[in-house]
Chains A and B, each alone.
Chain A
Amino acid sequence: MSDKQKEATSLIVEQLVQSGIKLVASLPDDWVADLIHTIHKDDRFKYVPVNREESAVGLCCGAYFGGIPSMALMGASGLMTIVYAITKINYTYHIPLFIFTTLRGVIGDPRAHHISNGLYLTKLMDSISLPYLLVEEQKTIQRIPDAFKHSQVMNRPVVVAFTEAVLRGEA
């Protein structure tokens, strides 16, 4: 991890602490792998690797009833798979859920298999009225606690989506 990336990761982690997050359930995307390693090593969080993204949704929803502020961390492809879970659980029962994801498939992402994420991820979130914060510049990281609070106030899922450049500390 470069010094710039370490700094960006540290900024994100501190905003999670500021938000009060205690539990992080995740599946990796290589853009967030270093963030996951950092969270895993940080004893301010309970880190739970899950078998699929829907399990992270289930765990975080239960953690809400256990009084544990939590976050589901996943790649864009993972977010595309949890539409059923969040619309059935979170929308039906008005359960807040805080999600971190990646803005894969946008201009600059060299991996062709992420094209569908680039084409549809934000449109998908719009289509199900899923609020999201796009983090395209480092200064936006400081708004993470606001996004978490919005989820709690509205009793709905809220997504924070990062570009690769921000995660690498290059934006």
Chain B
Amino acid sequence: MDLRDCFKYFASRQEDGVVITSAGVTSGTWWRTTHDLDRAFYLGASMSMISMFGAGIAMGAPKLPVWVFMGDGAFVMNPGMLMVERDLNLPNLKHFLVSNRVYNATGAVPLTNAKRNDYAAIARAVGIERVFEIDSLEGLHSQFDKIVLEPGHTFTVLEVEPLLEKPGGVPLDDVESKIRFGRYIEKKAGIKIFRHPAPEPITNR
């Protein structure tokens, strides 16, 4: 499956929910596909933590769909995250593993044990009940509603080919990204994120 086509489909089905992407082609491709600055947080600066990041949002905004697109290079650094995800079992958290079996953004170097890694089996082994494996657009179209629209935490492996042409980075100031994303969640979920305490007023004595 081509990641670009895959993401085009996801983008066409995205409504009010938010997307978190991990470093490399996952972030770059989502940005190239959507140019979204409000509903997406491109957590390019850190690998393996985006599903926990998504879980934190999903806990605080339980009616907001949270899609996490994590590269398998990030996943292999911290597969134990799935245990925490299972423990939390957040119904609005959908974890998508973008599996291309290489470190695509840094020279397409193969992952360790690349061909044998069975990510879906790892997820099932920690007790995640709703695990999906998608390797074609047809499969994505047919399974999408079950994965995304039905309530319940899901872990879905998206088997894609490595991109020969890298999509590039996300041309966005990191702090602007934080503010725009946070303001979007505040508006959609009706929660308060930014709490800069104002200094106490100076009173005349």
Contacts and interface: CB of A to CB of B under 8 A. Distances in A.
B75 to A, nearest CB: 13
B174 interface: yes
B55 A85 contact: no
Nearest to B52: A58
Interface residues of B, number: 40
Interface in A37-82: 46, 48-52, 54-68, 70
A114 interface: no
Interface of B: 41, 43, 45-46, 48-61, 78, 80-81, 83-84, 87-88, 174-175, 177-178, 181-182, 185-186, 189, 191-193, 195-197
A51 B80 contact: yes
Given A49-B87, A92-B174, A66 B61 contact: yes
Contact of B53 (A49, A50, A62, A67): A62
The SS class assigned to the A binding surface is helix
B52 A67 contact: no
B196 A59 contact: no
A131 B117 CA distance: 41
Contacts, number: 120
B178 A95 contact: yes
B197 A149 contact: yes
Contacts of A57: 49, 52
A57 B41 CA distance: 16
A66 B56 contact: yes
B84 A59 contact: yes
Contacts of B50: 58
A60 B57 CA distance: 9
Contact of A66 (B45, B175, B191): B191
Contact of A84 (B46, B87, B185): B46
B56 A62 contact: yes
A107 interface: no
A65 B181 contact: yes
A23 B56 CA distance: 9
